[in-house]
Amino acid sequence: MSDILTGYVIKTNDVKDNDVILSVYTKEYGVVSLYARGIKKSTSKNAFACQLFDYSEFLIEMNQMKSMQLLKSATLKKEFLGIRSDYDRLSLASVVIELAGYLEEDNIFDLLDTTLKLLDSHKELFTVFELFVVRYLDLLGLSPEVDGCVLCGDTRNIETISVSDGGFVCRNCNRQLHLKPRDAGFLKNFRIINKASFKVLDKIEGLGLNEYRLSALLMEFLMTHSGLTVRSWRSVSGSQ
Ligand SMILES: [Zn+2]
């Protein structure tokens, strides 16, 4: 039986000859593996719609008994030229699709869709990335504590952030931890981004959230508490 799926190519694995296995994040079924025969041949009509980040329609031979479906043809619906042509956008989008692949059971299609469209063109690309990571942490139940000290609950005299303890730490508790104090502006921004969502993106623009340091701290939280090794994060550059 044939079926049509629409989704994002989030991973490609070369197999033998000119064949490739595609992981496609679909709205209907989450992550689906498609076996794409011969798409590395220069004559392949489908290759154009099967590249990483492509949003395409896939005609497949559906076999519900199998975990991998056979691709018959693919049609490109949206190409992300902004992501493809800019190193920072490309590296952040690579982290997004890698992370999406780890959550194949929770369907995060809408989150992926919103994030990639904004990463393609929005001027505050790190802010967009941070909103994705904040939502991802929330889905895993790993949101940092930013309402008060994670150790004693005190809401005053917040001095720093402890990744291993999971959030803000007050001056008193930091006498034992000896973590480097953070400046007040950074602590404030860390709280804002953790309380924010894509719905308020236009309201948080220009607040100074668009920076590598904040993205890196959120990724440190994510990797420490989820146990995931996010390989593509290594290529994100802090030299903006
Ligand atoms: Zn405390």
> Token match 């953790």: residue?
194
Domain count, the chain: 2
Centre of ligand 1 to C-alpha 221, Å, is: 19
Is there a domain that residue 154 lies in? no
State CA 158 to chain mean position distance. 29
CA torsion sign for 141, 146, 147, 151 is positive
Q: Which of 41, 61, 78 represents a domain boundary (last residue)?
A: 78
Residues 72 and 104 in one domain: no
Centre of ligand 1 to C-alpha 211, Å, is: 27
Would you place residue 105 in the very low, low, confident or very high pLDDT band (cuts 50, 70, 90)?
A: confident
Centre of ligand 1 to C-alpha 157, Å, is: 9
Centre of ligand 1 to C-alpha 193, Å, is: 21
What CA–CA distance (Å, rounded) separates 131 from 111? 10
Cα three-residue angle 100-162-166, rounded to 5 degrees: 50
Q: Which of 78, 95, 116 represents a domain boundary (last residue)?
A: 78
Question: What tens digit of pLDDT does each residue of 37-74 get?
Answer: 988 888 888 888 999 999 999 999 887 777 899 999 99
Question: Over 80: is that where the pLDDT of 237 sits?
Answer: no
Evaluate whether 120 touches 83 at the Cβ level (below 8 Å).
yes
Centre of ligand 1 to C-alpha 22, Å, is: 48
Centre of ligand 1 to C-alpha 177, Å, is: 10
Question: What integer pLDDT is reported at residue 146 of this predicted model?
Answer: 98
Question: What integer pLDDT is reported at residue 164 of this predicted model?
Answer: 97
Evaluate whether 8 touches 116 at the Cβ level (below 8 Å).
yes
Centre of ligand 1 to C-alpha 141, Å, is: 22
Q: Which of 52, 78, 104 represents a domain boundary (last residue)?
A: 78
Question: What integer pLDDT is reported at residue 239 of this predicted model?
Answer: 58
Does this model's pTM top 0.75?
yes
Centre of ligand 1 to C-alpha 174, Å, is: 7
Centre of ligand 1 to C-alpha 153, Å, is: 6
Would you place residue 106 in the very low, low, confident or very high pLDDT band (cuts 50, 70, 90)?
A: confident
Question: Over 70: is that where the pLDDT of 19 sits?
Answer: yes
> Could you tell me what percent of the chain has a pLDDT over 90?
85
Question: Over 60: is that where the pLDDT of 240 sits?
Answer: no
Centre of ligand 1 to C-alpha 148, Å, is: 8
Residues 136 and 226 in one domain: yes
Q: Give me the chain's average pLDDT, please.
A: 94
Residues 105 and 9 in one domain: no
Centre of ligand 1 to C-alpha 169, Å, is: 5
Looking at 142-182, which runs of residues are DSSP E strands? 158-162, 167-170
Domain that holds residue 35: 2-78
Centre of ligand 1 to C-alpha 175, Å, is: 9
Is there a domain that residue 29 lies in? yes
Would you place residue 128 in the very low, low, confident or very high pLDDT band (cuts 50, 70, 90)?
A: very high
Question: What integer pLDDT is reported at residue 163 of this predicted model?
Answer: 98
Question: What tens digit of pLDDT does each residue of 137-174 get?
Answer: 999 999 999 999 999 999 999 999 999 999 999 999 99
Residues 119 and 67 in one domain: no
